[in-house]
């Protein structure tokens, strides 16, 4: 069995320092990923972006319907039917 090459104290210290730095980086990354405030802020931003995207699509429905888009016409018809049903149910009493 051959012996492992002798390492100098400086080599060992350099390896230890590199390992410490790697561990520090991993701990910092995990800390960032698991930060509740950061996660909540990111979720809020994502929800806001999705809401803005939905709003933009909703605002485009009347224009799309007036241009003959059958999907937009269907959406408006369903919305009108839902509103009519709600009014009927309210005044039925």
pLDDT by 10s per residue, the chain, length 93: 567 778 899 999 999 999 999 999 999 999 988 999 999 999 999 999 999 999 999 999 999 999 999 999 999 999 999 999 999 999 986
| Phi-psi region at 68: left, alpha or beta (left = phi > 0; alpha = psi -120 to 50) | left
71 contact partners, CB below 8 Å, separation of at least 6: 64
Q: How far apart are the first and last CA of the chain?
A: 95
Does this model's pTM top 0.85? My answer is no
Torsions phi, psi for 9 (to 5 deg):
-60, -35
The pLDDT of residue 16 = 96
CA-CA distance, 6 to 21, in Å (whole number)? Answer: 24
- The two tokens of residue 14 are 């350099």
The pLDDT of residue 2 = 64
């Amino acid at each position: 069995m051959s012996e492992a090459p002798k390492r100098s104290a400086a080599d060992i210290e350099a390896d230890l320092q590199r390992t410490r730095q790697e561990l520090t980086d991993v701990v910092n990354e995990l800390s960032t990923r698991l930060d509740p405030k950061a996660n909540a802020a990111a979720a809020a931003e994502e929800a806001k972006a999705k809401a803005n995207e939905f709003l933009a699509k909703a605002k485009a429905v009347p224009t799309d319907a007036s241009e003959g888009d059958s999907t937009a016409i269907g959406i408006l018809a369903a919305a009108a039917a839902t509103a009519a049903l709600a009014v009927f149910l309210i005044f039925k009493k």
